[in-house]
Structure 1
Amino acid sequence: MLKFTPNDKEQPQKGDILLAEPFMEDPYFRRTVILLCEHNEEGSFGFVLNNYIDASLEDIMDDLSMFQSRISVGGPVKHNNLYYLHTLGDTLSDSIHVTEGIYMGGNFEELKELALAGKVTDDHVRFFVGYAGWSPDQLMSEVKSKSWFISSSDQRTLMDTTNETLWNSLIKKLGKEYSHLADLPPNPSLN
């Protein structure tokens, strides 16, 4: 049986992937894939994985020319801040474990030193301008209103900045009953 809406009974957890329902109107979240980095009684936040800006890290910070990866718009909150996910684990002090093989933040000076020494490449780090945030209970309210599919993914997929069809491929992975959603046009009235 074909399904058209997310399950409103699921409970998001830190490390989960949020997939926007296909007709979400909000321009920041239309067909987005978000890695949920924190979810607790104080609120939730994460990074949009599939929305990019047309700028280099060197355009944003002078001393990051060693990185050539694409920069994601992590969400509508705090666009003046640069955030990052990485696969370096405890190699960077003060890193926060998010999900299997994925860490957030950590000592930025250590990251730059490792990169200058050739020990960190674009495959190890991905950068975000801003983040997506929810006040206490806001995300659960959105889940109950069927705005988000809750899923999971692997380290390679989460760190990949080249996949232009990430939302579609992760919707298809939800199962046959949802795979038809990946083929729907973003605006059905233009079909």
Structure 2
Amino acid sequence: MSKSKPKSGSILIAKPFLGDPNFERTVVLICEYQEHGTFGLVLNQTTHLHLSDVLDDIYAGDIPLFIGGPVEQNTLHFVHRMGALIPGSIQLQEGLYWGGDFDVVKSLLNTGQLPVQNIRFFLGYSGWSPGQLDAEIERDTWIVTECNTTVLFDTQPGDLWRTILRDMGGEYRVIANYPIDPRLN
């Protein structure tokens, strides 16, 4: 397996048996990859919370919150497919954006102009100090790849890790079928 270099918009897929419960079978979206460090959001760790549980001025219904990572879990982050509709958004790849004007997001949600399936909210984030992620990739901890926005938003979070690996084909398809605990196989 080749070791690709991550970049903003890349996906990190945790190798089986990673050994870190924060990242066990996770899919992480890299939002910022720079020499001063890396910022990412775990896409497939759900919570039992909704956006309205942490914000009083959201009336758009049950919008789920995800765990973006173990760092600063008192912060709220979001990715979306809405592009220029949300000023200040940063394009990560075709049809995938990070952040933007949160007052606009709240207004669009509350007026029904922002479909819930086009945005995801995260508590906390995943962070790596300079060189840390590169060292982890070199140790074969992560698979670095690209993934289309449709798969990221339209796949059930619990199926995302397996779906992306299976779609990659070849030896990755085999990894997708690794049991969580091989002793139980």
Contact 1:57/1:65 (CA < 8 Å) preserved in 2?
A: no
- Large movers: runs of 4+ above 4 Å: none
Displacement of 1:65 in angstroms is: 3.0
Contact 1:67/1:121 (CA < 8 Å) preserved in 2?
A: no
Gapped runs of 5+ residues in structure 2?
none
Displacement of 1:189 in angstroms is: 2.1
Q: Aligned in 2, Cα 1:178/1:12: closer, same or farther, shift over 3 Å?
A: same
TM-score, normalised to structure 1, is: 0.91
Counterpart of 1:184 in structure 2 is 178
- Once residues 146 and 64 of structure 2 are traced to their aligned partners in structure 1, the CA distance between those partners, rounded to angstroms, is 22
- Once residues 38 and 105 of structure 1 are traced to their aligned partners in structure 2, the CA distance between those partners, rounded to angstroms, is 12
- Deviation string 1:7-28 (CA, Å, 9 cap, x unpaired) is 3x32111111100001111111
- Once residues 134 and 68 of structure 2 are traced to their aligned partners in structure 1, the CA distance between those partners, rounded to angstroms, is 20
Displacement of 1:40 in angstroms is: 1.3
Contact 2:4/2:145 (CA < 8 Å) preserved in 1?
A: no
Displacement of 1:135 in angstroms is: 0.5
TM-score, normalised to structure 2, is: 0.93
- Once residues 110 and 64 of structure 2 are traced to their aligned partners in structure 1, the CA distance between those partners, rounded to angstroms, is 19
In structure 1, what residue type is equivalent to 2:115?
T
Provide the aligned C-alpha RMSD in A. 1.5
Which structure would you say has the larger RCO, counting Cα contacts within 8 Å and 6 or more residues apart? 1
| Equivalent residue pairs, number | 185
In structure 1, what residue type is equivalent to 2:48?
D
* Candidates 147, 156, 164, aligned match of 1:162: 156
Displacement of 1:161 in angstroms is: 6.3
Name the SS of the counterpart of 1:165 in structure 2.
Answer: helix
* Candidates 11, 31, 34, aligned match of 2:28: 34
Identity of aligned residues (%): 39
